[in-house]
């Protein structure tokens, strides 16, 4: 399939995990890529790997929590690629920390990347999409934005904010033919989760909380992003799609 042939897709947090899998899925279906990451070495390796596969890639090293860097990256993308048709706001960070122990610094760090950074990128890209009178923005939320989880107050708050930001963007941008949706993964096996949890924890989690009996894969989330950006979803906006193997069905 070439559902996205010739379209320009910008992906934040694109050098690893869900971001990389999502970028690869869109490229495999014909898209040209603008890849954003704050890890230059990983970003350059991803760009080389994708170029070897014949994909068109523009790597942009940027810290999305800094508005000036976001402005510069988007200006570069528009200048070199001409437009942005689809934005995947994937970048995010998380770690486990008891509510009573969260420092001001740690609270701000997670909110700055997961919510503020998403706002900066979305607002700047949306201004270009308004001129185009078309676009699709997909935000990475989480089941943690819909239900609470102990020791993740800062992460939960950031993802809850993403859910409501998504709805409000959908309300305001729909008149410009711009759709905005969120994806809410459950437990997806990525380098981020592997750095937090050991194999025993993962096994117990699967056994007790996931009806489908396995952890999610990055490809599971990438497929939902691709569906929401496709012509099959042109009447879907303002939604938060859960991808969790049935966990929230309990």
CATH (domain of 114): 3.40.50.720
**For position 195, what pLDDT does the model report?**
74
Q: What is the pLDDT of residue 117?
A: 98
Q: Which residues have CB under 8 Å from 162's CB, separation 6+?
A: 114, 115, 118, 139, 140, 141, 142, 145, 182
Query: How confident is the model over 211-236, as a mean pLDDT?
Result: 97
What domain count does the chain have? 1
Please report whether residue 111 resides in a domain.
Answer: yes
Question: Can you give the pLDDT at residue 161?
Answer: 98
**Is residue 51 situated within a structural domain?**
yes
Which domain does 110 fall in, by range?
A: 8-189+217-243
Can you give the pTM of this predicted structure? 0.96
pLDDT per position as a tens digit, 13-27: 999 999 999 999 999
Structural domain includes residue 209: no
Does any domain span residue 3?
Answer: no
pLDDT band, very low/low/confident/very high, at 137 (cuts 50, 70, 90): very high
Catalytic residue among 55, 155, 176, 187: 155
Q: Is 155 a catalytic residue?
A: yes
Q: What pLDDT was estimated at residue 196? A: 75
The answer on pLDDT for 74 being more than 90 is: yes
pLDDT in tens, 86-100: 999 999 999 999 999
């Amino acid at each position: 399939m070439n559902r996205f042939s010739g379209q320009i897709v910008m992906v934040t947090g694109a050098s690893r995990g869900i971001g990389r899998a999502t970028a690869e899925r869109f490229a495999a279906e014909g898209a040209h890529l603008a890849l954003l990451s704050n890890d230059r070495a990983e970003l350059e390796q991803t760009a080389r790997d994708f170029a070897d596969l014949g994909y068109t890639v523009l790597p942009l090293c940027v810290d999305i929590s800094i508005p000036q860097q976001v402005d510069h990256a988007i200006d570069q993308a528009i200048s070199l690629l001409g437009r942005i048709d689809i934005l995947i706001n994937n970048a995010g960070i998380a770690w486990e920390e008891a509510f009573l122990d969260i420092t001001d610094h740690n609270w701000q760090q997670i909110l700055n990347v997961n919510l503020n950074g998403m706002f900066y990128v979305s607002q700047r890209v949306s201004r270009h999409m308004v001129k185009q009178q078309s676009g699709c923005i997909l935000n990475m939320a989480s089941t943690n934005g819909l239900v609470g989880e102990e020791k993740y107050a800062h992460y939960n708050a950031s993802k809850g904010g993403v859910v409501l930001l998504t709805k409000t963007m959908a309300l305001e941008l729909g008149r410009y033919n711009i759709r905005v949706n969120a994806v809410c993964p459950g437990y997806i096996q990525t380098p981020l989760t592997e750095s937090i949890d050991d194999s025993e924890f993962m096994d117990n989690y699967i056994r007790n909380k996931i009806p489908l009996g396995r952890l999610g894969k990055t490809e599971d989330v990438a497929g939902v992003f691709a569906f929401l950006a496709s012509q099959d979803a042109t009447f879907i906006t303002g939604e938060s799609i859960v991808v969790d193997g049935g966990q929230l069905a309990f």
